[in-house]
Amino acid sequence: MNRLRYESQTGQSSLFAGPALSVRSIRRRYSSILWFLDVVGKDRIGANPARDPLVNQQLAGITRLLPSKPKRAPGLTNQYLPEIIKGIEGYDFIPRRDRLLLSLGFAGALRISDLAALQIEDVQILAQGLVLGFEQRKRKSHFSQISIIAGQHPACCPRALLQSYLSALGSFTGPLFRRANRNGDPLPKALHPQSIARIIERRGAGFLTRKGRFTGHSLRRGFIDSLWFG
């Protein structure tokens, strides 16, 4: 299938043979073009050509020609999670952080962006569990909270792992999940969402499900699958 490649240095485009993009990738690029022409091009070209009905007709035709199922991350369910958490050895900062990240991400059905945004001062430790506060979450622009019940087994309980982690972190304000330096000591900067995704992928690398390897979305998917399938 022919695709169009734009050369920024020459300002010219050329056709080349390559695999077809997914419908999702095409729509994502189309959204970027829409935004660019709406914001940057309105004073230069007037009406946005990407909003022409002909473009929408072409997109509809592409969708019919390239039917595809949405990719779903394999769920990191309670079938695998306890074994993965218990397999993280050591009590330095990084092992404690990664155990908490997996446990908390699963128990709260959290996205990697949620885990990266968590602040220590917005986490309440209660007798029966935790309350997590978020200034913003996906599709929510207001402050919201999530309650998490303490687990029965300390090795996997998010409340117990949080207390262990905070004792190693030695700080009670700022980002909860932090980067580490070469010596494995905590830094003040928060982990990037993609770094959190890589941690989940690396810690679950020894487990291969029918749907493939675990990804950054597997904790949230695993919580939902565990509820659905028991």
Answer positive or negative: Cα dihedral of 217, 222, 223, 227: positive
What pLDDT band is residue 24 in, cutting at 50, 70 and 90? Answer: confident
Q: Tell me, yes or no, whether 6 and 92 share the same domain.
A: no
Q: Tell me, yes or no, whether 107 and 167 share the same domain.
A: yes
Judged by average pLDDT, the poorest of 18-22, 173-177, 215-219 is 18-22
142 close to 154: Cβ distance less than 8 angstroms:
no
Quick one: which of 227, 222, 215 has its CA closest to 103? 222
Q: Tell me, yes or no, whether 53 and 11 share the same domain.
A: yes
**210, amino acid identity:** R
Q: Tell me, yes or no, whether 186 and 122 share the same domain.
A: yes
The last residue of one of the domains, among 39, 65, 91, is 65
Residue 73 forms part of a structural domain: no
Residue 1 has pLDDT above 60, yes or no: no
Q: Tell me, yes or no, whether 12 and 97 share the same domain.
A: no
At residue 186, the 3 state secondary structure works out as strand
Q: What is the 3-state secondary structure (H, E, C) of 101-124?
A: HHHHHHHCCCCHHHHHHCEHHHEE
Integer angstrom CA distances of residue 99 from 18, 111, 143: 42, 16, 26
State which H helix or E strand residue 81 sits in.
helix 81-86
Q: Tell me, yes or no, whether 128 and 225 share the same domain.
A: yes
> Can you name the residues that pair with 16 across neighbouring β-strands?
3
How far is the first Cα of the chain from the last one, in angstroms, to the nearest whole number? 44
Q: Tell me, yes or no, whether 43 and 102 share the same domain.
A: no
Q: Check which CATH number belongs to the domain holding 89 and give it.
A: 1.10.443.10
Give the domain extent around 24.
2-65
Q: Tell me, yes or no, whether 58 and 85 share the same domain.
A: no
**The total number of structural domains that make up the chain:** 2
Residue 117 forms part of a structural domain: yes
**114, amino acid identity:** D
- Give 138-191 pLDDT, tens digit per residue: 766 678 899 999 988 889 999 999 999 999 898 889 999 999 999 999 999 999
Residue 72 forms part of a structural domain: no
- Give 95-138 pLDDT, tens digit per residue: 999 999 999 999 999 999 999 999 999 999 999 999 999 887 77
Residue 76 forms part of a structural domain: no
Separation between Cα atoms, residue 79 and residue 223, nearest integer Å? 11
Q: Tell me, yes or no, whether 21 and 54 share the same domain.
A: yes
Q: Tell me, yes or no, whether 49 and 106 share the same domain.
A: no
Q: Tell me, yes or no, whether 54 and 112 share the same domain.
A: no
Q: Tell me, yes or no, whether 142 and 85 share the same domain.
A: yes
Residue 116 forms part of a structural domain: yes
